[in-house]
């Protein structure tokens, strides 16, 4: 069973502060993804990566940066957190093409 671990699971941040959400996968998957989930919007893609050193912009990248320092790790960085970034964030990983992705348990971020 593929394992994707997100940390922290819950985070309260102050407006203007820096936040880093971490994701680790132990399945040697090339592709990794960051989504946010908000009521009425489903899962929206923020950034994704197809291997160590690569990051690509998703559909809503503004206000977020991503980092893929290794095959196993993919981070999402909020340099200047805003209340509008309060959400639940999911990381996922998967092999290319027609295989499914595996999700972490999510990180609930509250920006006050």
Partner 1 sequence: AQKVTQTQTSISVMEKTTVTMDCVYETQDSSYFLFWYKQTASGEIVFLIRQDSYKKENATVGHYSLNFQKPKSSIGLIITATQIEDSAVYFCAMREGHYGNEKITFGAGTKLTIKP
- Give the span between the Cα atoms of 102 and 12, in whole angstroms: 26
Nearest-approach distance from CB 16 to partner 1, in angstroms? 28
Question: Phi then psi for 98, rounded to 5 degrees?
Answer: -90, 15
- Fill in the per-residue mask, 20 to 59: x = in contact with partner 1 (CB under 8 A), - = not in contact: ----------xx-x-x----xxxxxx--x-xx----x-xx
Is residue 33 a contact partner of residue 45, using CB atoms and an 8 Å limit? yes
Say how far apart CA 5 and CA 2 lie, in whole Å.
Answer: 10
Cβ nearer to partner 1, comparing 79 with 105: 105
Name the residues that contact partner 1, by CB under 8 A. Answer: 30-31, 33, 35, 40-45, 48, 50-51, 56, 58-59, 88, 90, 92, 96-98, 100-103, 105-106
């Amino acid at each position: 069973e593929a394992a994707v671990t997100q940390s922290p699971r819950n985070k309260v941040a102050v407006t203007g502060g820096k936040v880093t959400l971490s994701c680790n996968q132990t399945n040697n998957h090339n592709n990794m993804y960051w989504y946010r989930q908000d009521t009425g919007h489903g899962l929206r893609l923020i950034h994704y990566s197809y291997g160590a050193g690569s990051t690509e912009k998703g559909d809503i990248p503004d206000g977020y940066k991503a980092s893929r320092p290794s095959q196993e790790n993919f981070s999402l960085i909020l340099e200047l957190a805003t209340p509008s970034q309060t959400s639940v964030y999911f990381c996922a990983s998967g092999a290319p093409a027609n295989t499914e992705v595996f999700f972490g348990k999510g990180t609930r971020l509250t920006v006050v």
